[in-house]
Structure 1
Amino acid sequence: MLDLAEELHRWTEEGREFAVATVVAVGGSAPRGPGAALAVDSAGTVIGSVSGGCVEGAVYDLCLQALQTGESVVERFGYSDDDAFAVGLTCGGTIDMLITPVGGQAPVRTALASALSAAARSEPAALARVARGPADLLGRALLVRPDGTYEAGLGGHPDLDRTAAAEARALLESGRTGTVDLSADGTHCPGGLTLLVESNVPPPRMIVFGAIDFAAALVRAGKFLGYHVTVCDARPVFATRTRFPDADEVVVDWPHRYLRNTATDARTVLCVLTHDAKFDVPLLKAALRLPVAFVGAMGSRRTHEDRNRRLRAEGVTEGELARLHSPIGLDLGARTPEETALSIAAEIVAAGRGGTGMPLTGSRTPIHRDARARGGDAGRPRRGRPGASRTDGRVAAGTSTTPPA
């Protein structure tokens, strides 16, 4: 739901009543993962998507019903060859959907308003909602901040909020969206409640080293994918805001020095496009020892072999070299900067999602990977009647101008 934060925050500020449908679990092949949402206001305006079109119409109707009844429900959508006209997923998977009305007096409105406000300001926060449990708790929400403080509440046992806040904080620290099973009294015994925890964290970083034409195209691709993109180069004549208007930051500094002094995390992507040994070797020596998501370097096959030889001479181990994506990008036959940026972006996505980079035509690999590879909890594929059905079963789970050295 937090992916709709800006629009939903505006709706709450305007006092609109609306219902939001959120994917809480998927089984088998499904287009969207946990946290994907669709919202409908009382005038029938709709935003978001939960299935790429397969069940949107039915979910729209369920949201309107929820606005009328004021009750939260969980619905399951699937597919059956026995009933091809049933509303379901043609891809063959199942999705469990939490539909929550957010009326003017709804208990959940305070928590949602705070969560949407934080997300719209890009502040880290986690939203925990009851996705399975007693009817009077279903849809109840708790907003959890990085320091462990929380707002609103799930209702029920006094210890439930404290336990839920601790679990949500753990997911927030890792930037994950997923499900948590708890008992109704707040202990960790599964079986009583399932919480959907959505984490809102600042966008991941992409740092592009080398202020070249290919970098300008990669900046645009990185922004399209949702990264906070920094361009770094030691040459002030090339590293300018004029040349990289789409970048979030343009930094003039020696790449290895900048990397040593800037913040990175397990979601950070490092793209080395300088293909110059005096920049590449000290930079990659540092990069390959950081716990980042992706390290890639541009260059020809000959450049790659020479670079690896120099890195080994600098003490880089074979295990560390194995982390290097070089030459960077998938084999698309790319020639132009834009095509090359697409090739690099495709490899970054494939590496992060567990993709093979092979054509889907003729392939037997799953199109939609297990959501656990995306940081969620998809659980196992489940059987059930086709179409929409209420379920009471388990819900699975600025510019910097630092001078160069």
Structure 2
Amino acid sequence: MLELAAELRQWALEGRDFAVATVVAVHGSAPRPPGAALAVNDEGTVIGSVSGGCVEGAVYELCRTALDNGLSTLERFGHSDQDAFAIGLTCGGVIDILVTPVTAAQRPHYLEAWGAAAGGEPVTLVRTLAAPFGVLLVRADGTGSGTLAHAPGLDRTAPAEAVALRDTGFTGVTELGSRCAQRVPVFVESSVPAPRMIVFGAIDFAAALVRAGKFLGYRVTVCDARPVFATAARFPEADEVVADWPHRYLDAQHLDGRAVLCVLTHDAKFDVPLLERALRLPVAYVGAMGSRRTHQDRLNRLREAGLSVAELARLHSPIGLDLGARTPEETALSIAAEIVAVRRGGSGVPLSGAAVPIHHDGPPSAAGRTPGSAPELMPGLRSARSGVRA
């Protein structure tokens, strides 16, 4: 529900009752990921989406029912081969949706979470998926409020686990709790600031990559040691333009595991000290532009600088996928495509004729579970509703 934080906060401040349906798990091919949400208020107004249209009508009715009876429900929607007109996903996937009523009693508890998310602050909501349905708010500083009401001590230990998941940008189903005691299935929903993309090299290709990075939802910085080129006028769509030596700027940054670094300078005096540092950082992607000859020379210099085989293997160079790109815009597309493939675990091969999934769950999360995948949330749950008063 955090993706609708600004709108839900406004409804709550207006004193409205409403219900929120949130995708908590995806199995196979589905239009929207975990965290996607649809909300219905007491006037019947709808915001958001959970399936791109496939099951919105049924989810709307679930929300109206939750508003009437005050019950949380967990529903599974999937494709039905037996009945072409059955409510389900035509794409063949399965989604689990948690519907939560938010009335006067619950509003204060969620308001803080929505305010933080709408303001761009890190915040996490942890919700249980079986009776008794509970919710725990985990703030940016790691403190928590609320209760999961499932296992002794879980409210005390869950915030630290939730913060570790939030640092990776995780949203999905996992299990929390002591390894030697009961592990509780929960839905962890993280709202974090936009991931960083740093483009080193203020060249024409960088301008196109800035636009692609913004389109993908990154906070984009352009950095170049040459002040005459590193200007806001040349990169009006960048969030930040910095005139500094690339390695010195990188040294001053605090980057998380979602950050991507794109080195477009293809000049050894900039590239080598920069990549020597970048390839030792726990970031999601490091790519460098240049010919294959430039790449081999760069590798030799980095080996001489002491980088290991494993560290060098993290370098995506020449940067981008093989699209036959020529123009800056085409090159930016090839780089953006590689970033998405690395982020989501894609192969980069054409989907036509290839026996590969259309939607990839991505690389394993820090919690040991692939984001978007989930265990059986409730045994035997097959489009069967389970209601418990919120």
TM-score normalised by L of structure 1: 0.86
Q: Which residue of 2 aligns with 1:147?
A: 141
CA contact (8 A) 2:168 2:258 kept: no
Cα displacement (A) at 1:61: 1.9
For 1:202 and 1:186, the matched residues in 2 are separated by: 31
Cα displacement (A) at 1:157: 7.1
Q: Which residue of 1 aligns with 2:170?
A: 176
Q: Which residue of 1 aligns with 2:191?
A: 200
Q: Which residue of 2 aligns with 1:395?
A: none
CA contact (8 A) 2:222 2:240 kept: yes
For 1:26 and 1:370, the matched residues in 2 are separated by: 9
Q: Which residue of 2 aligns with 1:75?
A: 75
Cα deviations by residue, 1:312-356 (Å, 9 ceiling, x for unpaired): 333333322211111111122222222211111110010111100
Q: Which residue of 2 aligns with 1:6?
A: 6
For 2:188 and 2:170, the matched residues in 1 are separated by: 8
For 1:194 and 1:78, the matched residues in 2 are separated by: 21
CA contact (8 A) 1:94 1:381 kept: no
The DSSP-based 3-state class of the residue aligned with 2:71 is coil
Match of 1:327 among 318, 328, 342: 318
Match of 1:111 among 100, 109, 112: 109
What amino acid is the match of 2:172?
G
Cα deviations by residue, 1:367-405 (Å, 9 ceiling, x for unpaired): 12236646525136899787x43259xxxxxxxxxxxxx
Q: State which drifts further: 343-352 or 79-88.
A: 79-88
Give 1:245-394 correspondences, 5 Å limit: 245-370=236-361, 373=364, 376-379=371-374, 388-390=383-385
For 1:294 and 1:304, the matched residues in 2 are separated by: 17
For 2:33 and 2:52, the matched residues in 1 are separated by: 11
Q: Which residue of 1 aligns with 2:65?
A: 65
Unaligned runs of 5+ in 2: none
Cα displacement (A) at 1:93: 2.1
Q: Does 2:22 match 1:22? A: yes
Q: Does 2:228 match 1:237? A: yes
Cα deviations by residue, 1:196-248 (Å, 9 ceiling, x for unpaired): 11112222111100011111111111112111111100000110111111111
What amino acid is the match of 1:126?
T
Q: Which residue of 2 aligns with 1:132?
A: 130
Identity %: 65
The DSSP-based 3-state class of the residue aligned with 1:389 is coil
Q: State which drifts further: 32-41 or 225-234.
A: 32-41
Give 1:45-64 correspondences, 5 Å limit: 45-64=45-64
TM-score normalised by L of structure 2: 0.89
CA contact (8 A) 2:173 2:374 kept: no
Cα displacement (A) at 1:277: 1.5
What amino acid is the match of 2:85?
F
